[in-house]
Amino acid sequence: MGTTQLETVPEPKYWHLKTVLSEALESEFSVGEILPNERDLAARFGVARATLRQALEQLELEGRLQRRRGVGTTVAPPRVGVAVGTEQHAWPGAGNDVWQAVDCAVAAPPAAVSAVLETGREEAVYTVRRSRVSHGQPVAAELLYIPASSVPELSAIDAPSGPARARAVLRELQRLELEGQESAVELGSARADDAKELDRLPGAPVLVVTTRFLADGRTAALSVATYRADTCRLTFGDSGGVEIHQDPERRAS
């Protein structure tokens, strides 16, 4: 394969190609525009298709490109800052909560969740599913695990499932005094159901935010929220967040 332009560069070829592609995206393409197909791109930059694909994957990781089945590769809009509250502690569903309750089920949670909630191995807990939309786009899906002991007065007369039931569970939870909350963010891959809700393919990279809500000296509720990693920047702190995204030119500094 002809690789004339890139042969003398000491860094990996796809890495240099990424920088070149990144500049081309900036100067020649607008947001939402569909890129030429891989064969044409590889020919234009004089690289093997495997090299091109690696560079495209990098740019996808960095949120510069989006690959959609049946559409092709498009230039991504800048990532959206999504506030993840850690400063003002509040129960899910309280105050100006941005999440929408979707459903509520009663089921035995995964073992790792039981361990945190200190419930028995097969003990069923309320499992509230919620979703979060930002700028008209689904950005996150959440499973909220609440043991029966956290909502002892919950009336069984309500709807057995659905959003109304979910809201009833959250209202009961809010009767407890919230003593604190802790969150963690890590990289994960989208499960099939979350992927569908987030309009992604299963296995797409996601940011998983786990939040433990503390009351009566124990974990009264546990939230596992899955954010789209391609379109979201999670913001923490005083205001709307930092308006800077990872810059491809940064490496030049």
Pick out residues in 19-48 that bind its own copies (CB under 8 A): none
Q: Which is nearer to its own copies, 107 or 156 (CB)?
A: 107
> Which of residues 51, 119, 127, 131 is near its own copies by CB under 8 A?
127
Q: Which stretch binds its own copies (CB under 8 A): 32-40, 148-156, 161-169, 203-211?
A: 203-211
Contact present, 232 and 207 (Cβ < 8 Å): yes
Contact present, 127 and 109 (Cβ < 8 Å): yes
- Nearest in space to 151 (alpha carbons), one of 210, 92, 224: 92
> Which of residues 98, 115, 159, 164 is near its own copies by CB under 8 A?
115
Dihedral pair phi/psi, residue 151, rounded to 5°: -135, 60
Q: Which stretch binds its own copies (CB under 8 A): 32-40, 67-75, 157-165, 204-212?
A: 204-212
Q: Which is nearer to its own copies, 175 or 236 (CB)?
A: 236
Under rule CB under 8 A, residue 98 binds its own copies: no
Q: Which residues contact 217 (CB under 8 A, 6 or more apart)?
A: 179
Q: Which is nearer to its own copies, 172 or 194 (CB)?
A: 194
Separation in Å, CA 88 to CA 84, 96, 176, 218, 238: 10, 11, 16, 19, 10
Q: How far apart are CA 224 and CA 10, in angstroms?
A: 42
- Torsion on CA atoms 124, 125, 129, 132, rounded to nearest 10: -150
Under rule CB under 8 A, residue 241 binds its own copies: yes
Q: Which is nearer to its own copies, 148 or 214 (CB)?
A: 214
Q: How far is the CB of 196 from its own copies (least distance, A)?
A: 11
Q: Which stretch binds its own copies (CB under 8 A): 40-48, 155-163, 166-174, 186-194?
A: 186-194
